[in-house]
């Protein structure tokens, strides 16, 4: 079934905005539930990790290049390189590796 792209965008935008604006406008005190706070704390890391692997390896033409970029990205991030630096290094590595692979 074909759905409307603008409606998709509207749904995404409405949810994104609601998430960001509701606590800012409604909650003035910190969340009390320790479970909820912990859950919210862990969510970003788990979501991003699930989305990164194995998708990162499937995104490149050669899976080997993807694996190398994953390892490089983890190492560089571990040693404190910022968002842009890590992202750019991964791109460059894949670009060079796929020359040979």
Q: Judged by CB under 8 A, does residue 98 bind another protein?
A: yes
- In whole angstroms, the minimum distance from the beta carbon of 78 to another protein comes to 5
Q: Which of residues 68-97 bind another protein (CB under 8 A)?
A: 69-70, 73-74, 76-78, 80-92, 94-95
| Cα gap 78→7, rounded to integer Å | 39
Q: Judged by CB under 8 A, does residue 100 bind another protein?
A: no
Q: Is the peptide bond before 93 cis (omega within 30 degrees of 0)?
A: no
- In whole angstroms, the minimum distance from the beta carbon of 29 to another protein comes to 9
Q: Which of residues 4-43 bind another protein (CB under 8 A)?
A: 5-9, 11-17, 19-25, 27-28, 30-31, 34-43
| Cα gap 48→70, rounded to integer Å | 13
Q: How far is CA 11 from the centre of its chain?
A: 20
Burial class (CB in 10 A: 0-12, 13-18, 19+), 89: middle
Q: Judged by CB under 8 A, does residue 67 bind another protein?
A: no
Q: Which of 32, 47, 64, 100 contacts another protein by CB under 8 A? A: 47
Cβ 67 vs Cβ 57: under 8 Å: yes
């Amino acid at each position: 079934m074909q759905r409307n792209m603008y409606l998709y965008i509207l749904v995404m935008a409405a949810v994104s905005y609601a998430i960001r604006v509701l606590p800012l406008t409604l909650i003035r005190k910190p969340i009390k539930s320790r479970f909820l706070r912990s859950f919210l704390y862990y969510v970003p890391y788990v979501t991003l990790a699930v989305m990164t692997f194995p998708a990162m390896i499937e995104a490149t033409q050669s899976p080997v290049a993807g694996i190398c970029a994953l390892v490089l990205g983890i190492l560089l991030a571990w040693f404190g390189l910022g968002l842009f630096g890590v992202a750019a290094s991964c791109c460059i590595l894949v670009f060079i590796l796929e020359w040979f692979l």
